[in-house]
Amino acid sequence: MMDAGANPSHALALVLVDELARGGVTDAVLAPGSRSTALAMALHDDPRVRLHVQIDERSAGFLAVGLARATGRPAPVVVTSGSAVANLHPALVEADTGHVPLVLLTADRPPELRQTGANQAIDQLGIFGRQVRWFVEVGVPEDRPGAVAYWRATVCRALAEAGGLSGPAGPVHVNLPFREPTVPLTDDGRAAADVPFRQPLEGRAGRRPWVVVDRAPRHAPAAELASLGARIAGTERGLVVAGQTTAHAGPALDLARAAGWPVVAEPTSNLRSGEQVVGTAHHLLGHAGFARAHRPELVLRIGRTGLSRNLAALLGPDVPQLLIDPDGAWQDPDRAIGELLVADVELTVAALRDHLAVPAGSDWMDRWRSADRRVRKVIDEVLDADDRPTEPRVARDLGAGLPDGTTLVVASSMPVRDLDQFLAPREHLRVVANRGASGIDGFVSTALGVALSGERPTVALSGDLSLLHDANGFLLAPDVERVDLPIVVVDNDGGGIFSFLPQHAFSGSFERVFGTPHGRDLADLARLHHLGHQPVTTAAELLPAVDAAREAGGIHLVHVRTDREQNLALHRRISREVAAALDELA
């Protein structure tokens, strides 16, 4: 039996939290405030939901993004009214563009306090526009028949819409105006047991959700599968290209193996394992001769790409390309894709595999594999020639050296590109990144959310600006939260990616407005937030430092100092030596 509600606000909060738990929610994030008191107390008191308290609303939003990315389950984030709501917008943008199931539960002032100059009262109705999958203004809670069913059904729809009821997963916004009292007391100060909310709060029997939503996967038509299977079987010079996706790797890799096609897989695709994968594709395709000689005749695309300009240059509109997407998401910034198949990825590629014969040898695959081995050897020789901890070597060694079953959360800008360019294919490593909007904001909190999910041991790879931009993420309830997270921080005192862009040539303005050196010592940040801090001065020290941080537990900064100009020179040297090696193969 549920406790009786002391007042309508208290009753609404109890029902919302109960229905969230029934709907499979295991974690919720709260940024403290007054108007959200009823929800905060209900979440705190319900043992089915782990509550994570974060002072900064922007960080709270990204903490929920990390939880949702790690688990695939909708993650609610609760904030009070006013500017607190606006601070959720960056996380909402990432959830929208990255297809992350996020539920924004925003407390609000009741209608009589809006547009009156009342404190923390802004217009929250539709504040996020078209970037949410669904918006609902629940209305001021009232003690009337039908209210509980309405509240419960609303929660069920919010979870379903966030999880992809009618399109890709993404954020929903539930606006909740509360009248006082928002604590479990009646208007005259009596407790709930004295004058309870009159409507029964119970949900469905057996702790079932009020509405059970089943979303069956989309199957491609049999005739279309047969036709596409025949095209794949008749095409030697084919390519599988995988970007960020939630599809499991096995079926797609099996299809590529059966077809004799190479696989170009960004790290966040989590398809970067097996002998079909060409880990040095970015470098290979940067060589004009190789790219010309290896133009594919058919490309099967999965997920959203965007890390390699060399790959994008190869996959122009003149190359036949088919994208498989379960929701029909339009992942085509270069207007190059000729066909879009709206169907479940795993089911589709497994069915296509069944249309192919027993795997056979492929000269096309052999040429890609031979060039990949040659370029990998060149890269490793350059990186291993010096024991300085360079940015490419940190990405290569960290990705290769983490134990099986680890999740690596990687920041945008250069870290994720270094991982893409230098990580050799390996199994049993999950890579997570905020590549929806591709911003550096919220990285610390996203990584903490992934770690808090408890799904796998977690390690993070960050640049210094990504870390500093979300330093408030470290304010996560230090009294009760135990998070185990080593964060490898590549610190080049600024924005290293801009050194690779055209503005680097304009020396007069470059350093101040693009390089943006901050001059901060991250050891001071670690002391402020009571984090472990371990400087790394040689490449050989990296993995032992990460291992020591994992064994000690808690949050640790593994601090690697690098130089932006030296990093640019190293990338250019690698490009030259790769080009020379490929010239010899031609």
Residue 509 in this model has a pLDDT that exceeds 50: yes
Bridge-based pairing of strands 429-432 and 171-177 is: unpaired
Helix axes 564-585, 391-401, angle to 10 degrees: 70
3-state secondary structure of 21: helix
- Sheet containing 555-561, strands listed edge to edge, beginning at the edge strand earlier in sequence: 429-432, 406-410, 458-463, 485-491, 555-561, 532-536
Confidence of residue 459 (pLDDT cuts 50, 70, 90): very high
Residues 427 and 273 sit within 8 Å (Cβ to Cβ): yes
Radius of gyration of the chain (CA): 26
Kindly report which listed range (156-160, 194-198, 255-259) carries the lowest average pLDDT score. Answer: 194-198
Residue 192 in this model has a pLDDT that exceeds 50: no
d(CA 95, CA 89): 10
Residue 193 in this model has a pLDDT that exceeds 50: no
Mean pLDDT of 280-308: 96
Mean pLDDT of 245-250: 93
Residue 287 in this model has a pLDDT that exceeds 50: yes
Residues 535-564: tens digit of each pLDDT: 999 999 999 999 999 999 999 999 999 999
Confidence of residue 196 (pLDDT cuts 50, 70, 90): confident
Which residues make beta-bridge pairs with 485? 555
Structure tokens at 4: 């009786």
Residue-range domains of the chain with CATH: 8-207 (3.40.50.970), 222-363 (3.40.50.1220), 386-585 (3.40.50.970)
d(CA 78, CA 34): 12
Structure tokens at 196: 């309870």
Mean pLDDT of 148-153: 98
443-465 per-residue burial string, b: 16 or more CB within 10 A, e: under 16: bbbbbbbbbbbebbbbbbbbbbb
Top-confidence residue, 215 or 410: 410
Residue 190 in this model has a pLDDT that exceeds 70: no
For residue 405, give the nearest of 420, 426, 419 by alpha carbon.
426
Which residues make beta-bridge pairs with 424? none
Residues 334-389: tens digit of each pLDDT: 999 999 999 999 999 999 999 887 666 789 999 999 999 999 999 999 999 999 99
Count other Cβ atoms within 10 Å, centred on residue 130: 8
d(CA 75, CA 22): 14
DSSP 8-state assignment for residue 134: E
Confidence of residue 191 (pLDDT cuts 50, 70, 90): low
Full-model pTM: 0.95
Residues 532 and 474 sit within 8 Å (Cβ to Cβ): no
Q: What is the mean pLDDT of the chain?
A: 93
Of all residues in the chain, the percent with pLDDT exceeding 90 is 83
Helix residue spans in 104-260 (DSSP H): 147-163, 222-233, 249-259
d(CA 245, CA 430): 12
d(CA 69, CA 74): 9
CA distances (Å), origin 137, targets 64, 81, 175, 385: 21, 13, 5, 61
Top-confidence residue, 244 or 359: 244
Residues 83-121: tens digit of each pLDDT: 999 999 999 999 999 999 999 999 999 988 888 888 888
pLDDT at residue 3, rounded to an integer: 78
Residue 288 in this model has a pLDDT that exceeds 80: yes
Mean pLDDT of 21-33: 97
Residues 65 and 57 sit within 8 Å (Cβ to Cβ): no
Residues 574-586: tens digit of each pLDDT: 999 999 999 988 6
Structure-token match 């079909």, residue found: 276
CA distances (Å), origin 144, targets 15, 58, 147: 14, 36, 6
Residue 501 in this model has a pLDDT that exceeds 90: no
Cα of 95 vs its chain's centroid, Å: 8
pLDDT at residue 513, rounded to an integer: 83
Confidence of residue 182 (pLDDT cuts 50, 70, 90): confident
Of all residues in the chain, the percent with pLDDT exceeding 70 is 97
Kind and range of the H or E run holding 558: strand 555-561
Residues 431-451: tens digit of each pLDDT: 999 999 999 999 999 999 999
pLDDT at residue 260, rounded to an integer: 94
Residue 45 in this model has a pLDDT that exceeds 60: yes
pLDDT at residue 117, rounded to an integer: 83
Residues 5 and 14 sit within 8 Å (Cβ to Cβ): yes
